[in-house]
């Protein structure tokens, strides 16, 4: 049986993720100004706050860890150049980084479609965490495969809102769409995931016990 979620209806407590902050409260702003003057240590702090999320997003979009690290590196190098012309108040730096990362992922997925008959994302390079059992790995791989079947924009919406726990406002900003459009993508994406995982549901639920 599926274990009960630990606290699905928890009271609205703030999460530690910086993505939960409001747009006007950009944790990267002070370091952006220092980085614009050439302070690499300041940019290193920005990298530290964002590289994990960017890598995870790209990995779930592309299904490849190696490509995800390339995308994260490319995006953060562009971010370094962007600091000299960054204008505060229009968007959080992390939101802009995610927007660029999603754009890079779109480019790579398009290139795959154009160069390969097999456009299904690779499910490779996933190192199991030490605590993950074989059954959990099995479920995780099936979830990752189901995610790969989603339409690209639906996948991006689910990745940002569910896995990265972005607020709806930030996810919509990263995707450059309205809140209503975001909710539509999320609903269709989750329904498709449910349908994709349905045939294996009993096995998946068993795996999770």
Partner 1 sequence: MNPGMPAETPAGMTFQRFAELVDAYGADARRWPLAERAAALALLASDAAAAALQQQAAMLDAMLDVDVAAPASHTARRALMAALPARGPVLATRWQELLALLGGWRIALPALAVALVAGVNIGATVGTGVLSSSADARSAVGTATDSEAPDDSGYRQGFAERLILDLQNVPQ
Contact between 13 and partner 1 per CB under 8 A: yes
**Dist CA 152 CA 148 (whole Å):** 8
**Dist CA 139 CA 200 (whole Å):** 9
Beta bridge partners of 64: 124
User: 41-80 mask for partner 1 (x: CB under 8 A)?
Assistant: --xx--xx--xx-xxx--xx----x---x--xx--xx--x
Q: Give the CA-trace dihedral at 11, 13, 19, 21, to 10 degrees.
A: 120
Q: Cα 143 to chain center, whole Å?
A: 15
How far is residue 15 from each of residues 7, 76, 117, 159, measured CA to CA in Å?
Answer: 14, 24, 42, 17
User: 149-188 mask for partner 1 (x: CB under 8 A)?
Assistant: ---------x--xxx-x-xx----------x--xxx-xx-
Interacting residues toward partner 1 by CB under 8 A: 2-5, 8-13, 15, 36-38, 40, 43-44, 47-48, 51-52, 54-56, 59-60, 65, 69, 72-73, 76-77, 80, 84-85, 126-127, 129, 132, 136, 139-140, 143-144, 147, 158, 161-163, 165, 167-168, 179, 182-184, 186-187, 190-191, 193-194, 197, 204-205, 208
């Amino acid at each position: 049986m599926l274990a009960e979620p630990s606290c699905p209806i928890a009271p609205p407590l703030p999460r530690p993720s910086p993505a939960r902050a409001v747009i006007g409260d950009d944790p990267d702003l002070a370091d952006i100004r220092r980085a614009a003057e050439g302070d690499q240590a300041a940019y290193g702090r920005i990298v530290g706050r964002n590289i994990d999320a960017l890598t995870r997003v790209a990995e779930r979009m592309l299904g490849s860890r190696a490509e995800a690290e390339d995308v994260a590196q490319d995006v953060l190098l562009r971010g370094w150049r962007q600091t000299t012309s960054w204008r505060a108040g229009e968007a959080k730096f992390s939101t802009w980084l995610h927007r660029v990362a999603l754009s890079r992922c779109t480019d790579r997925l398009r290139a795959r479609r154009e160069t390969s008959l097999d456009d299904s994302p690779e499910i490779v390079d996933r190192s199991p965490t030490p605590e993950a059992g074989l059954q959990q790995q099995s479920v995780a791989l099936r979830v990752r495969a189901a995610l790969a079947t989603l339409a690209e924009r639906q996948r991006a919406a689910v990745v940002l809102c569910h896995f990265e726990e972005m607020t709806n406002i930030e996810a919509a900003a990263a995707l450059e769409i309205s809140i209503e459009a975001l909710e539509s993508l999320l609903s269709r994406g989750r329904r498709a995931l449910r349908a994709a995982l349905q045939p294996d549901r009993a096995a998946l639920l068993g795996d999770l016990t």
